[in-house]
């Protein structure tokens, strides 16, 4: 238990290019995991955690990487933390991608972590992907700290960045530090807890030096300390009394109040620095040890008890039966590498485990602790640990237990968004087809947002994903890792279909062909389903059973539900999936001899097809949330270009310090193909953009007709006139 109290499982997440991988590189250096700092960009070996060749070429993180470090405090004398007085804290870190196309890497990491660090750019503050990451942290109730990075850049403003956490994310963000200088003059921070000026000396900022606050900054420091104390006293009654009575506040009391606030998910302490310039990272590590929870004190994770149809808490106890979750899988020369979070019990090399999804037994021949793409063999791991098993075949999200008498327990899954873009891939010959198939099978297994399927009419292989970059990376990996010569077709949009008004159905399925017949009669209505609380990428179908008096026997109701669901896969307009439909089953009839599950399933299927055609179906297209950062002189071009792509401009914000303007727009995905090239040429390469799925919206009539014509052959037989 003592070792568990010293463990922190954290993720480092941010908008792309906020410097989180650079921050992780400094963390590795200051914790002596590495002895030389490498940069994300710059022609060297590349950052430690970006170990893929493509990551180092493009200067972005594509896949999350794990490592374990030990931290003894900025002074090297250990730190006092809420759960004990020990020195070294063990920190399991997962560095996640910032690009939205790889958001599932963030999703599955946050699913198994106990805390997180949200990194912001000191110039831009909260950006579009910051909002997505915040939503993911809230979904899994992950306590977090915020780190305002890049304080050395022109236009950096810690106060504005902290304010954006409140204004754009609704977080109770409180500065724990204020900067000493900014931009080129940024050379340290004032710690509002110790009321010391902290500088970072040495070639790599490894020497932390605390001195008296300069007289010219004393007033500002006292002002922001008062704001901090007022904010955190809400989480400690004794501190509130001491403040009201004018009694001095101790450092221990401040740490205690911050710890309570962070772990109640109501407080986000904000720290400041520049990872690239080696400033502020050690104090952030101290904060991770002091304020983020251990596996012992985090909110107890819950699992599903499928036998009793209830939910149970998993307890971080090494003596209990093992329960662990596989949250990420990758290929390894020695077999599949399965990243695993142990929630309770102990995992030992040589153990036999049970996969609760498949019911199969597996033997764990090798356990490793990961450091990017390197691994250290270990003999065992306990509750609260994050390790990897080698050679264990499973799927992402599978639950493993140590005893077959708890096979009914399964950990909660994670949210997986649906792909919005697809394209065709074709191999040069049979040999390359085999290589391509092998690679695609691996990628599908590793990435839940990557899909592969065969087009029914053309027979061509199609891949689907979260964006152009997502698919581009996988195609490039096919060529490099599998030596598969593949040709790529033009990207296509994944549209959806829905209904726009209520419609009734009344359908009788009746068939007699000798022997037992088939009979089922269903009556009801459908209407558009509007649920403002649902996730914007989630497909919704809702079935309401309103049968009374047994006019349809209870045993046939599930078959009706299945029949309705059968229709949702292909709509009447262009054979795209149907979404947002609510079905009411209100009346019907049955025959004591001829009625069956299949009869009612067929009746429901045909009834819904009839009703959908009468409910004014419309085609929906994916709208993307596009954020462009451009020098002010190109603002007119960017807005005009987005408007020409049917974009709806939501607003713009100019940073007067940097001369950069951020433009926000909602643009149909079908209009965004090739945008990066056009943006580069129109702004002399000075503008950047990010894009993520926003929601589905109705297509213009002319586009709908064009799509319908192109997909006419794919429409399901039952929908054709």
Helices (H), 126-273: 128-139, 158-169, 215-232, 237-245, 251-263
Question: What does 64-120 look like in DSSP terms, one character per residue?
Answer: -EEEEEEE--TTSS---BTTB--SPEEEEEEE---SGGGHHHHHHHHHH-SEEEEEE
Q: What is the DSSP string of 505-562?
A: EEEEEEE-SSSS-EEEEEEEEEEE---TTS-TT---EEEEE---TTSS-GGGHHHHHH
Indicate the pLDDT class of residue 535, thresholds 50, 70 and 90: very low
Question: What's the rounded mean pLDDT across residues 471-483?
Answer: 88
pLDDT of residue 536: 44
Checking if the pLDDT of 533 tops 50, the result is no
Residue 390 near residue 377 (C-beta atoms within 8 A) = no
Percentage of the chain modeled with pLDDT above 70: 90
The SS3 assignment for 227 reads helix
Residue indicated by tokens 């340290």: 188
Predicted confidence at residue 77, as pLDDT, reads 62
**Which band of pLDDT confidence, cut at 50, 70 and 90, is reported for residue 345?**
very high
Q: How far apart are CA 297 and CA 422, in angstroms?
A: 43
Give the integer Cα–Cα distance in Å for 420 and 464.
7
Structure tokens at 120: 């912001």
Instruction: Specify the pLDDT at position 456.
Output: 67
Burial class, 531, CB count within 10 angstroms (exposed 0-12 / middle 13-18 / buried 19+)? exposed
Q: Taking 60 as the threshold, does the pLDDT of residue 182 lie above it?
A: yes
Q: What pLDDT does residue 497 have?
A: 94
Q: Residue 537: its pLDDT value, please?
A: 45
How sure is the predictor about 578, in pLDDT bands with cuts at 50, 70 and 90? very high
The most confident of 131-135, 174-178, 568-572, by mean pLDDT: 174-178
Q: Evaluate the CA torsion angle 248, 253, 259, 260 in order and state its sign.
A: negative
What value does the mean pLDDT of the chain take? 87
- Return the pLDDT at 62: 63
In 3D space, the residue among 629, 607, 627, 638 whose CA is nearest the CA of residue 692 turns out to be: 627
- Per-residue pLDDT of 186-245, as tens digits, reads 999 999 999 999 999 998 999 999 999 999 999 999 999 999 999 999 999 999 998 888
Give the Cα separation of 529 and 564 in Å (integer): 15
Give Cβ neighbours of residue 75 (< 8 Å, ≥ 6 apart). 208
Band (pLDDT 50/70/90 cuts) for residue 552 is: very high
Q: What mean pLDDT comes out for the span 646-666?
A: 87
Answer whether 610's CB lies under 8 Å from 499's CB: no
> How confident is residue 267, by pLDDT bands cut at 50, 70 and 90?
very high
Cα distances from 433 to residues 209, 256, 460, in angstroms, run: 61, 60, 12
Give me the numbers of helices (H) and strands (E) for the chain, helices first please.
17, 38
How does pLDDT run across 289-301, given as a tens digit for each residue?
A: 999 999 999 888 8
Write the pLDDT tens digit of every residue in 664-714.
999 999 998 888 888 888 998 888 888 888 889 999 999 999 999 888 777
Question: Which whole number is the average pLDDT over 612-631?
Answer: 92
Between CA 76 and CA 271 the distance in angstroms is 20
Q: What is the mean pLDDT of residues 496-509?
A: 95
- Distance (Å) of CA 403 to CA 320, 397, 400, 634: 10, 19, 9, 64
pLDDT (0 to 100) of residue 721: 47
pTM of the entire structure? 0.76
Q: Which of 58-67, 85-94, 453-462 has the lowest mean pLDDT?
A: 58-67
Q: What is the pLDDT of residue 641?
A: 94
CA 138 to chain CA mean position, Å: 11
Q: What is the pLDDT of residue 330?
A: 83
Question: 309: which residues sit within 8 A by CB, 6+ positions away?
Answer: none
Composition of the chain by helix, strand, coil, percent to 5: 30, 30, 40
The dihedral over CA atoms of 396, 400, 404, 408, expressed in degrees to the nearest 10, equals -60
List the alpha helices (DSSP H) in 274-429: 281-291
Q: What is the mean pLDDT of residues 119-137?
A: 87
Among 263-277, 577-591, 655-669, where is mean pLDDT lowest? 655-669
- Does the pLDDT value for residue 104 go beyond 80? no
């Amino acid at each position: 238990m003592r070792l568990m109290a010293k463990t922190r499982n954290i993720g480092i997440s941010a908008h792309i290019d906020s410097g989180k991988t650079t921050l992780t590189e400094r963390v590795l250096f200051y914790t002596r995991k590495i002895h030389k700092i490498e940069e994300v960009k710059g022609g060297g070996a590349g950052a430690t955690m970006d170990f893929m060749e493509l990551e180092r070429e493009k200067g972005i993180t594509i896949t999350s990487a794990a490592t374990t470090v030990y931290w003894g405090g900025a002074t090297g004398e250990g730190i006092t933390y809420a759960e004990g007085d020990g020195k070294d804290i063990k920190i399991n870190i997962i560095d996640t991608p910032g690009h939205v196309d790889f958001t599932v890497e963030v999703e599955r990491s946050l699913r198994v972590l106990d805390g997180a660090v949200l990194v912001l750019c000191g110039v831009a503050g909260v950006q579009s992907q910051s909002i997505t990451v915040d939503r993911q942290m809230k979904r899994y109730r992950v306590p977090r700290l915020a780190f305002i990075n890049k304080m050395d850049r022109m236009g950096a403003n810690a106060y504005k960045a902290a304010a954006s956490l409140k204004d754009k994310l609704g977080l109770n963000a409180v500065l724990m530090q204020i900067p000493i200088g900014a931009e080129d003059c940024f050379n340290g921070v004032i710690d509002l807890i110790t009321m010391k000026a902290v500088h970072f000396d040495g070639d790599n900022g490894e020497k932390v030096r605390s001195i008296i606050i300069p007289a010219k900054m004393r007033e500002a420091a006292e002002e922001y300390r008062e704001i901090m104390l007022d904010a955190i006293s809400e989480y400690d009654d004794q501190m509130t009394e001491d403040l009201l009575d004018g009694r001095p506040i101790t450092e221990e009391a401040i740490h205690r109040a911050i710890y309570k606030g962070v772990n109640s998910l109501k407080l986000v302490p904000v720290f400041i620095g520049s990872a690239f310039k080696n400033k502020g990272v050690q104090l952030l590590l101290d904060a991770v040890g002091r304020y983020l929870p251990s596996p012992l004190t985090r909110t107890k994770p819950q699992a599903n008890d499928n036998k009793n149809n209830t939910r149970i808490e998993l307890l971080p106890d090494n003596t209990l039966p093992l329960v662990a979750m596989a949250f990420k899988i990758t290929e390894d020369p020695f077999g599949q590498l399965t990243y695993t979070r142990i929630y309770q019990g102990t995992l030992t090399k040589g153990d036999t485990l049970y996969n609760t999804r498949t019911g199969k037994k597996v033997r764990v021949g090798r356990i490793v602790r990961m450091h990017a793409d390197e691994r250290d063999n270990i003999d065992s791991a306990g509750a609260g640990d994050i390790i990897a098993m080698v050679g264990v075949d499973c799927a992402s999200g599978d639950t493993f237990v140590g005893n077959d008498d708890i096979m009914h327990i399964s950990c909660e899954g994670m949210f997986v968004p649906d792909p919005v873009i697809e394209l065709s891939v074709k191999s040069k010959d049979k040999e390359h087809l085999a290589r391509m198939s092998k690679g695609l099978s691996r990628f599908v297994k590793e990435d839940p947002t990557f899909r592969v399927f065969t087009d029914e009419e053309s027979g061509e292989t199609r891949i689907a994903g979260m964006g152009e970059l997502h698919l581009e990376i996988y195609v490039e990996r096919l060529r490099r890792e599998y030596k598969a010569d593949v040709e790529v077709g033009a990207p296509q949009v994944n549209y959806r279909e829905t209904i726009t008004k209520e419609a009734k159905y009344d359908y009788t399925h009746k068939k007699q062909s000798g022997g037992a017949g088939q009979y089922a009669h269903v009556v009801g209505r459908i209407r558009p389903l509007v649920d403002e609380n649902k996730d914007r990428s989630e497909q919704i179908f809702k079935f309401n059973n309103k049968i009374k008096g047994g006019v349809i026997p209870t045993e046939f109701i599930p078959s009706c539900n299945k029949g309705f669901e059968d229709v949702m896969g292909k709509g009447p307009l262009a054979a795209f999936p149907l979404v947002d439909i609510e079905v009411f089953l209100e009346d019907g009839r049955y025959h004591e001899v001829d009625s069956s599950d299949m009869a009612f399933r067929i009746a429901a299927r045909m009834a819904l097809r009839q009703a959908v055609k009468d409910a004014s179906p419309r085609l929906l297209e994916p709208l993307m949330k596009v954020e462009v950062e451009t020098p002010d002189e190109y603002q007119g071009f960017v807005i005009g270009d987005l408007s020409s792509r049917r974009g709806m401009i939501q607003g713009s914000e100019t940073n007067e310090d940097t001369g950069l303007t951020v433009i926000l727009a909602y643009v149909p995905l079908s209009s965004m193909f090739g945008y990066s090239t056009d943006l580069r040429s129109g702004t002399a390469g000075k503008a950047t953009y990010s894009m993520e799925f926003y929601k589905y919206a109705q297509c213009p009539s002319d586009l709908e007709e064009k799509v319908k014509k192109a997909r006419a052959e794919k429409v399901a037989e039952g929908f054709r006139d």
